[in-house]
Amino acid sequence: MTDKSRARASGEFVLVAMGGLGEIGMNAYAYGLGPRDARQWLMVDLGITFPHENEPGVDVVLPDIRFIEAQKGALAGLLLTHAHEDHIGAVLELWPRIKCPIYATPFTAGMLQAKVVENGNRLKLPINIVKPSSRFNIGPFDLELVTLAHSIPEPSGVVFRTPYGTVFHTGDWKLDATPLVGDPADEKRLEALGEEGVEVVVCDSTNAFRNGRSPSEVEVAASIAEIVKKAKRRVAVTTFASNVARVRAVADAAEASGRKLVVSGRALHRVIQVAKETGYLPENLAVLDQQHFGYLEPHDVLCLCTGSQGEERAALARVAEGSHPEISFSRGDLVIFSSRPIPGNEIGIGKVQNNLARMGCQVITDSDALVHVTGHPRREELKQMYAWLKPRLLVPMHGEARHMEENAKLAREAGVPETHVAYNGQMLRLLPRPAEVIEVVPVGRQYRDGKLIIPAGDGPVRERRRLGFAGIACVAIALDKDGELAADPEVALDGIPLTTLDGRSMEEKVLNTVEGTMESIPKKKRKDDKLVADAVRRSVRAAIDQAWGKKTIVKVLVCLV
């Protein structure tokens, strides 16, 4: 029997994603090791994504992890590659469903613990701190972390050494020799892994369409410093709160220009505190809270604030609307968007930028100057990674379908013999090869809706979507024991035009419809409140549709007195 035959007989190494394959965000991957009827599992990341416009009222979107919940008795742990919300943001809500050990490097662990404290949560997470660039075991999984560069400290690729070969999960990464904060990618270790032999690479696809290489954080820092130095009045910078290198760049720009650094936004304060505790920012970094903004002269202040993605409740959005209690901008002030829009956030960002423009502020984005650099690999960086690792199989991840397909195409052009594009819910056998989808498991989206977690699909979010399209009509009817109206019907219309095309009152039209419907129902049948409610609902809906052209939601309350 060959080695491959023996490996196949004893088990296999599989990957199933509950998020992250076919989308950017909500990363949640599970790797399974062993025979089909006795697999052990390891989760890699458990993140969130942001709601679409057609998901009104939703705070964040969480992965549906029912598959791994069912396997939690065989779940060895949850390994976090880095501290971005799309990789750790669902841990607080979903960990109680799986209750496995958590493994993270110091900065990531600090960020996760800070989230627990900030949310007033009494959850005691079993966090095991592992060193960057270390090798360790989680249950039957032989693992090694490889230091990479990204837009946050301590991003790690994960090496899986299995009986069937080596698999490398990149996480989020780029190649930056001067990342300003943290270490650059460990190129020597990547080359050495390639020499040892890598069967499979599961690789970030976000920038698969972008040519060349990403600029360095050092270049961005120099550009921001030059812009701040030339500014005559207030300067504000907004960026992703987790980008510690960008925070450092803004702090350095403030010091170089003799300005005071004012920070607005809880997320930024949290990141700065954890970065100080873990040594990524100096302990003596001078930061003022937002209440100090008002007494500083315009040329003496540099404000670092949250809201780079147009979030309605973030600091910058409130400043742009003139509703922030302590910070205000005026004509001649400069606002730098040191970020790039996450797909779907363009409308919110545009609203904030237009509000700032109306105030007379100058807005600078990455289209105007080098004020942002991506945290993900462009095409030449992807080619370099494949040249170092020499994988026999590429599985694209962290991208929409078009990104993953383009990454696969690029890999084949770079000499990778085999590629396989898989999507959320498809269980892909990675080893022994050939790669093959061997099962499909249930996956989907859940919503954090206020204090609750609710399923996507049917439910309150769907009802809100319908309300946003065609409003609601509420009708209240009181009937006595003889089936006569005990009082005049009451009608409330929300989100519905006040008048019809010919100028008649829509409310009057609905009331007339209700009265006409009641007259058409025999008195004996009026004692059936469900029959009455259904008849009124259908007739009111039809009347509004005839007058307006839209099928509204109609709710009818019948009270028998």
Lowest mean pLDDT among 139-148, 247-256, 374-383, 522-531: 522-531
> CA-CA distance, 128 to 79, in Å (whole number)?
9
Q: Return the SS3 of 474.
A: strand
- Token readout for 114 is 């800070």
Average pLDDT over residues 536-559: 94
**DSSP type of residue 255:** H
The DSSP H or E segment spanning 145 is strand 141-147
The pLDDT, as a whole number, for residue 561 is: 82
Average pLDDT for the chain:
93
> CA-CA distance, 265 to 62, in Å (whole number)?
23
Residue of 91 and 469 predicted with greater confidence: 91
pLDDT of 368 over the 80 cut: yes
Q: 3-207+377-455 has which CATH code? A: 3.60.15.10
Question: Of 111, 92, 242, 104, whose CA–CA distance to 181 is shortest?
Answer: 242
Average pLDDT over residues 379-400: 98
pLDDT of 74 over the 70 cut: yes
The pLDDT, as a whole number, for residue 10 is: 66
Average pLDDT over residues 374-384: 97
CA angle 208, 341, 204 (to 5 degrees): 30
> CA-CA distance, 31 to 17, in Å (whole number)?
9
pLDDT of 350 over the 80 cut: yes
The pLDDT, as a whole number, for residue 1 is: 38
Average pLDDT over residues 518-539: 91
- The share of the chain scoring above pLDDT 70, in percent, equals 98
Q: 217-364 has which CATH code? A: 3.40.50.10710
Q: 471-560 has which CATH code? A: 3.10.20.580
> CA-CA distance, 486 to 518, in Å (whole number)?
12
Residue 8: pLDDT band (50, 70, 90) is very low
Length of the chain: 561
Q: How many other CB atoms sit within 10 Å of the CB of residue 9?
A: 10
The pLDDT tens digits of the residues spanning 87-130 come to: 999 999 999 999 999 999 999 999 999 999 887 777 899 999 99
Average pLDDT over residues 537-551: 94
Cα-based distances in Å from 422 to 29, 203, 556: 12, 12, 47
Q: Return the SS3 of 539.
A: helix
The pLDDT tens digits of the residues spanning 273-310 come to: 999 999 999 999 999 999 999 999 999 999 999 999 99
Helices (runs of H) and strands (runs of E) counted in the chain: 16, 29
Average pLDDT over residues 217-234: 96
- Per DSSP, helices labelled H in 278-320 are 315-320
Cross-strand pairs, 560: 479
Residue 5: pLDDT band (50, 70, 90) is very low
The pLDDT tens digits of the residues spanning 147-205 come to: 999 999 999 999 999 999 999 999 999 999 999 999 999 999 999 999 999 999 999 99
> CA-CA distance, 199 to 397, in Å (whole number)?
16
Query: Do the Cβ atoms of 267 and 309 come closer than 8 Å?
Result: no
Query: Do the Cβ atoms of 359 and 353 come closer than 8 Å?
Result: no
Q: Where do the structural domains in the chain lie, given as residue ranges?
A: 3-207+377-455, 217-364, 471-560
Lowest mean pLDDT among 73-77, 404-408, 432-436, 484-488: 484-488
